[in-house]
Structure 1
Amino acid sequence: MAKESFDKEIQYLRMLTLTSGAYNRQQFAERLGISVHTFDKTIKKLKTIVNTTYQQLAPGQEKQVSESIRYSYYESIDPLLLFIFRAKSVKESESYRISLLLAAMSEEALTTMELMDICCRDLNPDLPLPDEKTIRADLKYLEEVGVIKREAGTRPFRYRLHNDLIQQLSDEELYDLYDYVDVMANTQVPSVQGYLLRDGLKKHLARNQVEKQVIEPFLYKYHYYSRILDEAHLFTLLRAIRNRRKVCFLYFSPKAEKSYASQNTNPLFERDHEGKVEQTLPLKIIYDHQYGRWYLLSNGREGVRKYRMEGITQLEETEAVSEELWDKKSSELAEKIKYSWLIDTGRPVTVRARFFNPGEMEPNFIRNRVLLQGQWGQIIEENDDFFVYEITVNGTFEIKPWLRSFGSSCEIVEPIQLRREMIAEWKEIQAYYEPVRENI
């Protein structure tokens, strides 16, 4: 599947989970900025993957992709990005060829020419035969992703399957490893690579006839779909940051009516889109735990730029910059977000809030939560009834939801403007619960 199609599938799955399948074909197509015909082809492709991935679908359930993805509460513990990675398949010829290569290298270490002979001998006659350049490209890819390992020695180099970890561990150790990976992948960020490792371990244990209940002691229900889907771009951006390279992408802001646009490969059918082509130097990735969102902070012509990663499509790395320039821009960004609760670069302001202790209850969960989540803020006053927390932040917009989440246990002391805003918001919330009729 092409990278363009991968972006399209991600944006479709994002809308599917957010709307619970409430959109019809026309609405989905309009939101994606594609034709209904293209949308139908996308759904057909996803249905094929659903039927392949979930063998136990009930009859007729494959008719609705939205139902297929969520047909079982417990099976939906697999995050959607894992589903889309399965859908991002290679060409048929590549799939057969790579499978042959891996099977051959699992037996013994082989050279490039020996592997090419095996492919030419065992490959389906209907598929094109590979040349030496193709086999070398496959080996390079497999080595980069850590599937195979090149043995030490002189040319011609020999390659073998890189499965030392699994082979050296006992069954009991593999159970412990699977449990650890399962817990970490479902509770930490980023998670995608952990899910892929968990999948590999699960298949290995299944091949060894391990009972299902033994290798699945925990069940998770994941809710931050956007966070997982955004990890499709995460490692590309981290690699660009590590190599000090600029990136280019088509960006759709959260307020845009469309979230995707097909690549214009034919000038005769070129169309306008609501996205904006951006070329920028990525500097930092920030994750918002409260809303499950990823943000890219970068440097462009206008200075510091902030992007929601859910709006990034057609991402590509471009030219590299000097180490001096990258260090300079990185230092400038660090100074601007020094007091950012998340990514705000506004004017610093000191916030003071009074938190009320929960009576005789031990432990003091209010105080513990403030100390855990309060970042660089400090408790400047404390007695048996309450404590005062102080922090300097860039603006109050980002810290406000955190303060509001404490409900009646938190009172804003300063600044006065934030106090007034909170009073107005609580009055508005109170009005929602007013009875419609006074005699109810």
Structure 2
Amino acid sequence: MARESFDKEIQFLRMLALAGGAYSRQQFADRLGISVHTYDKTLRYLKEMLSTLQQGVPQEQGTELTEGLRYNYYESADPLLLFLFRAKSLKETESVRLTLLLTALQSQELTAKDLQDICSEQMPVEFPLPDEKTVRGDLKYLEEVGVIVRLSGGRPYRYKAANDLIDWLSDDELLDLFDYVDVIANTQVPSVQGYLLRSTLKKALIKRGFDADVAETHRYKYHYHSRILDEAHLYTIFRAIRQRKKLHFLYLSPKKGKKYSSQNTNPLFERESDGVVHTVLPLRVIFDHQYGRWYLIGYGPRLGLMKFRMEGLTQIEEGESVSEEEFDGRLVSAEAQLKQSWVIDTLRPATVKARFFNPDRSGANFVRERVEAQGQWGVITEESESTFLYEITVNGIYEIKPWLRSFGSSCEVLEPAWLRREFIAEWKEIRDYYESVRENL
């Protein structure tokens, strides 16, 4: 899939997942920055891609694109946001061919010649038939990534799917493994690889005769759909950081509303882009658990330390390398500026002091546990049996403010005084909303 196309598919699926049917075709196209014709073409392409990836899958395990649009909090891993990752690096002909190879190797041990015959018989008429060299290249790739194994013995070599781990596990062991992967994929970041493994294990359970609902044993999950799609850029950025390379990209600020801008390849239809082109030396990647957002921290020659929400990155390309000394110097400077950031803020430091109230009942003190888990370098001081104090110095207060507000009546902001006044005004405004409603009733 072309890089530009993948940028468009990412933003397209993000809006489908988050907005669902809230927009008409025209509104959706305007929001994405494309024509209605391109909207229809992209939707048709996504449906075809999903159908291609499900070739050879039993009907009960298949999924229509419309099913992925049905909001199900507990099944966000299947399949709308993840199927794009399975096809993003493959041409359409490759995705069809590899699907045929893997399907055939699930239950048989076959040679390259056998697989070439299968492709010749089952390849759709609109695609060219592969020669033996192409099939051998596919087998080498699949063997390198661990999807298939070459059996011992002389030529011609025989191959089979690498399912030994799953096949050797008993039903109870497979369920335990699924539960473990399910927990880790839903609580750790990055998570895409875990979701893909989770999907594979779930299919293995269904293949053994388990009902699909048997895998749904946990109801704790913490999801942000968009964070999964943002991981598409993560490994490109990590590679650039490891290799000390700059990145060139078009940045579309989330505040401006436009989600995509096509590359101007035809002079007749050239138009001014809605985004800004940047050249940045990537230094760090930061994940905000509060909102499920990824951020790229980098250095720009004109503006110095720069911060980007990863959902706005498009048309990413690697640039020239810098010296190890330059990279280390920029990184040390960035870490010094971010040392007291709640997430990525670099405003003037401010000291925040709050009183937290313990739950008025026996059992787990979830307020105290949450403050200890999420409070970063803040200091906790015991005040009484029912309250404790929390103090922290952070760069600005706008990133920590939603966290404090999320505790509701269990948190009282003490300092700074102006922040306390802001909270008082906000809670009074909320109270007035509910009072007027009650009076009308």
TM-score bucket (shorter structure): 0.7 to 0.9
Q: SS state of the match for residue 123, structure 1?
A: helix
CA distance in 1, matches of 2:272, 2:137: 37
Q: Show the 5 A alignment for 1:243-322.
A: 243-301=243-301, 302-322=303-323
CA shift, 1:120, in A, is 5.0
TM-score by length of 2: 0.83
Equivalent in the alignment of 1:431: 432
CA shift, 1:214, in A, is 4.6
Contact 1:31 1:258 in 2 (8 A): yes
Q: Show the 5 A alignment for 1:41-56.
A: 41-49=41-49
Contact 1:70 1:76 in 2 (8 A): no
CA distance in 2, matches of 1:50, 1:432: 46
Task: Say whether residues 1:16 and 2:36 are aligned partners.
Answer: no
Equivalent in the alignment of 1:406: 407
Equivalent in the alignment of 2:394: 393
Task: Say whether residues 1:124 and 2:123 are aligned partners.
Answer: no
Higher mean displacement: 68-77 or 393-402: 68-77
Q: SS state of the match for residue 39, structure 1?
A: helix
| Gap change, CA 1:39 and 1:221, over 3 Å in 2 | farther
TM-score by length of 1: 0.83
Q: SS state of the match for residue 434, structure 1?
A: helix
AA matched with 2:431: Q
Q: Show the 5 A alignment for 1:6-405.
A: 6-49=6-49, 69-70=69-70, 78=78, 80-85=80-85, 88=88, 90-99=90-99, 102=102, 103=104, 115=112, 117-118=113-114, 121-124=117-120, 127-128=127-128, 130=130, 134=134, 138=138, 141-143=141-143, 145-148=145-148, 162-218=162-218, 223-301=223-301, 302-359=303-360, 361-405=362-406
Higher mean displacement: 36-45 or 234-243: 234-243
Higher mean displacement: 360-369 or 231-240: 360-369
Q: Deviations over 1:407-433 (max 9, x none)?
A: 222222222222222222222222322
CA shift, 1:133, in A, is 7.0
Contact 1:282 1:298 in 2 (8 A): yes
Equivalent in the alignment of 1:418: 419
CA shift, 1:254, in A, is 1.3
CA shift, 1:169, in A, is 3.5
AA matched with 2:95: S
CA distance in 2, matches of 1:392, 1:219: 35
Q: Which runs of 5+ in 1 are unaligned?
A: none
Higher mean displacement: 94-103 or 426-435: 94-103
Q: Deviations over 1:297-339 (max 9, x none)?
A: 1111211111111111222333332222222222111111111
Contact 2:115 2:135 in 1 (8 A): no
Percentage of pairs with the same residue: 63
| Gap change, CA 1:222 and 1:243, over 3 Å in 2 | same
Q: SS state of the match for residue 232, structure 1?
A: coil
Q: Deviations over 1:278-303 (max 9, x none)?
A: 22122211111111111111111211
AA matched with 1:378: V
CA distance in 2, matches of 1:236, 1:308: 15
Across the aligned residues of Structure 1 and Structure 2, the Cα RMSD in angstroms comes to 3.7
Size of the alignment, in residue pairs? 430
Contact 1:80 1:229 in 2 (8 A): no
Contact 1:77 1:222 in 2 (8 A): no
Equivalent in the alignment of 2:5: 5
Contact 1:105 1:159 in 2 (8 A): no
Contact 1:77 1:221 in 2 (8 A): no
CA distance in 2, matches of 1:438, 1:176: 54
| Gap change, CA 1:403 and 1:158, over 3 Å in 2 | same
Q: SS state of the match for residue 346, structure 1?
A: coil
Higher mean displacement: 77-86 or 177-186: 77-86
CA distance in 2, matches of 1:402, 1:73: 22
CA shift, 1:261, in A, is 1.1
Higher mean displacement: 119-128 or 316-325: 119-128
Contact 2:286 2:294 in 1 (8 A): yes
CA shift, 1:37, in A, is 1.1
CA distance in 1, matches of 2:366, 2:199: 37
Q: Which runs of 5+ in 2 are unaligned?
A: none
CA distance in 2, matches of 1:366, 1:193: 32
| Gap change, CA 1:195 and 1:164, over 3 Å in 2 | same
Q: Deviations over 1:214-270 (max 9, x none)?
A: 555457877521122212222222232233222222211011231101222223322
CA shift, 1:107, in A, is 6.0
Q: Deviations over 1:358-404 (max 9, x none)?
A: 34544433222222221111123522242221111111111111112
Contact 2:250 2:275 in 1 (8 A): yes
Q: SS state of the match for residue 287, structure 1?
A: strand
CA shift, 1:16, in A, is 2.5
Contact 2:349 2:393 in 1 (8 A): yes
